[in-house]
């Protein structure tokens, strides 16, 4: 593509703070192509909880229209209204965006080299237990029903994406995670789909486990390095990736790519921490997770080398400055200081050796 439009969505709470830092890092890495007009940034400001509450929609129409003019989106966390909140009961903007832009693959890598962990999760991102959003049924005061929806196409495309990646990356193994022994109809369909697709990838080994025992297996230090690429229905992907990220330093350290045929969105895995902003500490929010998201964005739009450099720089910053970064609020390190540190590390002429 001649021109790539990167939409930048600040979101709520600490979102605008950390997104600005991630954008600075992207500008730093892409400066030449920005000058050439190949890369264009577009700020999209309306995705705030106030706006969403005012129009009663998870994504206001004008914001959605703007999002659709972008090729890729860098998104800060958005506040999900919850019961008892001051906000009306609208759906998560996150979940809605994944569905509206048909971002079916939620790709979440977790890597802890010193622990032998190198996992990539392919989470189905548009259906399953998330399919109908908040439109479950209160049959009467005593009875509530929710639905889980699994389609053939929805299963096939995420499973293929996982197998494609396993093949291309040389990891050659895919683990399918379901609860098909109990949720037989939908999870059974997902597992069937995986078994059928596996036949087209003779070099890729497939195994499958239930989500309950899988959460135990990730804890098992001796055996967890056997897992490489995992593919999971939406809810299990949500659950297992948070656990996995904890081994890397917490959800605050993980990036998340939401990829569809037409659009792609990259985000932090953590929430919007409205309390930090209310207390005037927004500038201390740790931008590490969304910068990881920005790194995945770079790879997605064709700058794989720069993506790798950024990944490496983040690993270095993480290792040597874990205290500074993870406890920024206490040490007084701002998000801007962290981004500066990342860019300084990126400028290091011997990035390879120092690692």
Q: Which residue has the tokens 């929430």?
A: 271
The yes or no reply on residue 215 touching ligand IPM (CB under 6 A) is: no
CB burial of residue 28 (10 Å; 0-12, 13-18, 19+): middle
Quote the least distance from Cβ 92 to ligand IPM, whole Å: 4
Tokens linked to 335 = 């998000």
* Contact string 181-200 vs ligand IPM (x = CB under 6 A): xx------------------
Residue 89, contacted partner among ligand IPM, its own copies, none, CB below 5-8 A by kind: its own copies
The yes or no reply on residue 79 touching ligand IPM (CB under 6 A) is: no
Q: Are 91 and 134 in contact (CB under 8 A)?
A: yes
Q: Among residues 12 and 238, whose Cβ is nearest to ligand IPM? A: 238
Quote the least distance from Cβ 328 to its own copies, whole Å: 17
The yes or no reply on residue 311 touching ligand IPM (CB under 6 A) is: no
Tokens linked to 44 = 């999209």
Binding range to its own copies, per CB under 8 A, among 18-26, 61-69, 81-89, 290-298: 81-89
Give me the DSSP letters along 112-137.
EGGGTEEEEEEEE-SSBTTTTTT--E
Strand partners, 105: 124, 259
Which of 64, 97, 198, 240 forms a contact with its own copies (CB under 8 A)?
240
95: enclosing H helix or E strand:
helix 93-100
- Phi, psi (5° rounding) for residue 31? -50, -45
Quote the least distance from Cβ 293 to its own copies, whole Å: 17
* CA 66 – CA 126 distance, rounded (Å): 21
Q: Among residues 255 and 303, whose Cβ is nearest to ligand IPM? A: 255
The yes or no reply on residue 50 touching ligand IPM (CB under 6 A) is: no
The yes or no reply on residue 243 touching its own copies (CB under 8 A) is: yes
* Contact string 127-166 vs its own copies (x = CB under 8 A): --xx--xxxxxx--xxxxxxxxxxxxx-------------
Q: CB-hemisphere CA count at 13 Å for 263?
A: 23
What's the residue count for the chain? Answer: 355
- Phi, psi (5° rounding) for residue 61? -55, -45
* CA 194 – CA 158 distance, rounded (Å): 10
Instruction: Give the footprint of its own copies on this chain (CB under 8 A).
Output: 80, 82-84, 89, 92, 95, 129-130, 133-138, 141-153, 179-189, 191-192, 195, 211-213, 215-220, 235, 238-243, 245-247, 250-251
Instruction: Give the footprint of ligand IPM on this chain (CB under 6 A).
Output: 80, 92, 94-95, 181-182, 212, 238
């Amino acid at each position: 593509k001649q021109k790539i439009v990167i939409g930048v969505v600040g979101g709520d709470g600490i979102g605008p703070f950390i997104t600005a830092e991630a954008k600075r890092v992207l500008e730093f890495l892409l400066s030449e192509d920005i000058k050439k007009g190949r890369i264009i940034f577009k700020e999209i400001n309306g995705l705030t909880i106030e706006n969403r509450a005012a129009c009663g929609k998870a994504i206001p129409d004008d914001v959605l229209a703007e999002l659709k003019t972008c090729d890729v989106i860098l998104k800060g966390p958005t506040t999900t209204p919850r019961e008892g909140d001051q906000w009306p009961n609208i759906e998560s903007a996150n979940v809605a965006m994944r569905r509206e832009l048909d971002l079916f693959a939620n790709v979440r890598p977790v890597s802890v080299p010193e622990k032998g962990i190198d996992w990539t999760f392919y989470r189905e991102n548009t259906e399953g237990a998330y399919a109908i959003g908040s439109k479950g049924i209160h049959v009467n005061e005593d009875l509530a029903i929710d639905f889980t929806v699994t389609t053939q196409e929805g299963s096939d495309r995420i499973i293929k994406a996982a197998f494609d990646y396993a093949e291309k990356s040389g990891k050659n193994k895919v683990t399918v995670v379901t609860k098909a022994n109990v949720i037989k109809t939908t999870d059974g369909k997902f597992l069937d789909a995986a078994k059928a697709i596996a036949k087209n990838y003779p070099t890729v080994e497939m195994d499958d486990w239930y989500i309950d025992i899988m959460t135990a297996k990730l804890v098992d230090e001796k055996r967890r390095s056997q897992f490489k690429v995992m593919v999971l229905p939406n809810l299990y992907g949500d659950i297992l990736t948070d656990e996995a990220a904890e081994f890397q330093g917490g959800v605050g350290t993980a990036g998340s790519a939401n990829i569809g045929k037409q659009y792609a969105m990259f985000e932090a895995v953590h929430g919007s921490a409205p309390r930090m902003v209310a207390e005037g500490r927004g500038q201390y929010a740790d931008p590490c997770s969304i910068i990881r998201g920005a790194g995945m964005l770079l790879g997605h739009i064709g700058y794989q080398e720069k993506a790798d450099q950024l990944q490496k720089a983040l690993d270095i910053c993480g290792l040597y400055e874990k205290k500074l970064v993870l406890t920024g609020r206490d040490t007084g390190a701002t998000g801007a200081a962290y981004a500066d540190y990342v860019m300084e590390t990126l400028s290091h002429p011997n990035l390879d050796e120092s690692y």
